[in-house]
Structure 1
Amino acid sequence: MFFQETPAPAGPSNAEAMKSMGFDHLIHNFDPLGWIVFVVLVVMSFSSWYFIIANAIRNTLVRSRADKVIQGFWGNPSLQDAIRELEAQPKGEPFSKIALDAASAAAHHQQTSTAGAGKLAETLSRSEFIDRSLRQAVSRESLRLEGGLTLLATVGSSAPFIGLLGTVWGIYHALIKISATGNASMEAVAGPVGESLIMTAFGLFTAIPAVLAYNAFNRSNRVTYARFDEFAHDLHDFFATGSRVETK
């Protein structure tokens, strides 16, 4: 009579091996390159979320105050009172800063022209001088709105590849372990494979919010830039001619 030996069930050993695929095992088995990849992704994630929150708050405040600032300026019958209201606006409010630069340029050109120092008036007309000041103000405030967008673009484009480096390194560890032990069981490869999968997920988790936020802020900024230009054109007409050109 022949007896066939029944193989031992592999369930418990495989279940134990699967436990080594967790994040806790990953932290305790990092090598120097693994730590570098992990720390870089953590720094990139925190940096991108900082700028996401900061830009979201700033853009919301700018857009919520824009109508109040613009309508307050045009609705004020006294230019001096309007300028005082603009000066009382928060430091980061861009529309008031654009209007103040236009008012300052107009006042400076008038002062130099009436004081007998006619070189400025001869070189640049009142319209040209105010236009140059407005262009500089719009460019300055536009650049301020773009703060952090370069970092978001960098994180969105590079984080998946940094996570992929961790993935490749984890698979490499699995292959090294198999070649060293000759054992290709789940217990031998679960840890390195788990490391590679977690690093891939972490890279995507870092990149996706940055990409979505970058696109959203670009769209929001384009709308604000258009309002900058519209307001600047009206300011130019007002300070150059003394009256605002109404557009339908």
Structure 2
Amino acid sequence: MLQESTQAAAATGGNAAAALTQMGVDHLLGEMTSNPGAYAVSWAVLITLTIMSAMSIYWIVINFFKNVSLRRSADRVVSSFWETPNAQDAIRFMEEQKKSEPFSKIALDAAQAAAHHQRHEGSRLVESLNRSEFVDRALRQAVTRESMNLESGLTVLATVGSTAPFVGLLGTVWGIYGALIRIGATGQASIDAVAGPVGEALIMTALGLFTAIPAVLAYNFFTRLNRVTNNKFDTFAHDLHDFFATGARVGEVPVKR
């Protein structure tokens, strides 16, 4: 009797050890490669998660370097513009900045709007819109454009963060369904017959979470940074409006043009 119990325990331990070897990523990939037809849904889920992860990483890197570059140049560009005593020199300084630098483009749009309004004095344009309204409209359009540029890629991150867990869950549900069908067909319900396929199926959920979590964290991080940058856009645009509409920032003496 004792010998039979020992043999049963040894068999159970052997089955458990065999089940553990069937629960790894390597074993799952081997099964999917050897029998792609039976794992068509798993392949679709894996490829989808891989594409999602690649897109997420791409936009995380792009937005990271974009925000680093913007934070390095923002204060320098804005302060240099206001510290330049001559308006023409300040505009020339803005023209020398990179095309991707947003503050310089906002300032140039305001300057071009003011110059365009001044060149058409006496026309219907001046009669319909005064200088303040014309510059304000140009600044609103410029700020909106630069704000939208800041948000590039955030939709992808939000989509990946919200859908990747469900894509992984689809792979898990389908894997468990297939495992139950195989167990029912063979009539085996031992630990090695159940734990292996179910463990492999759960890997898909884990992959979905690994794909979604960085995307969600990055989305929240960049959204916070963009909110701060948009506030800087608005502040700079208000000062530019006062400057090009009246000839000076608030608190300064207007200069004759």
Place the TM-score, normalised by the shorter chain, in its bin: over 0.9
Contact 1:26 1:191 survives alignment (8 Å): no
Which region of structure 1 is more displaced relative to structure 2, 8-17 or 66-75? 8-17
TM-aligned CA deviation for residue 219 of structure 1: 0.8
Q: Name the residue aligned to 2:255.
A: none
Change (3 A) 1:3 1:18: closer
Which deviates further from its counterpart, 238-247 or 90-99? Answer: 238-247
1:77 match: secondary structure: coil
**2:39 is the counterpart of 1:29:** no
Counterpart of 1:221? 226
Aligned counterparts, 1:1-248, within 5 A: 5-6=4-5, 7-8=7-8, 9-10=10-11, 11-30=13-32, 31-113=39-121, 118-246=123-251
Partner Cα distance (2:2, 2:143) in 1:
89
Q: Distance in 2 between matches of 1:182 and 1:210?
A: 42
Gaps in structure 2 of 5+ consecutive residues = 33-38, 253-257
The percentage of aligned residue pairs carrying the same residue is 63
For the residues of structure 2 that align with 1:123 and 1:105, how far apart are their CA atoms? 15
Q: TM-score, structure 1 length as denominator?
A: 0.93
The Cα of 1:196 is off from its aligned counterpart by 1.5
Query: TM-score by structure 2 length?
Result: 0.90
Alpha carbons 2:106, 2:139 under 8 Å: kept: yes
Call closer, same or farther: CA 1:168–1:222 in 2, change over 3 Å: same
Instruction: Tell me which amino acid in the other structure corresponds to 2:72.
Output: S
- Distance in 1 (CA, whole Å) between partners of 2:251 and 2:206 is 55
* Unaligned ranges ≥5, structure 1: none
How far apart, CA to CA, are the structure 2 residues paired with 1:69 and 1:59? 15
1:81 shift after superposition: 1.3
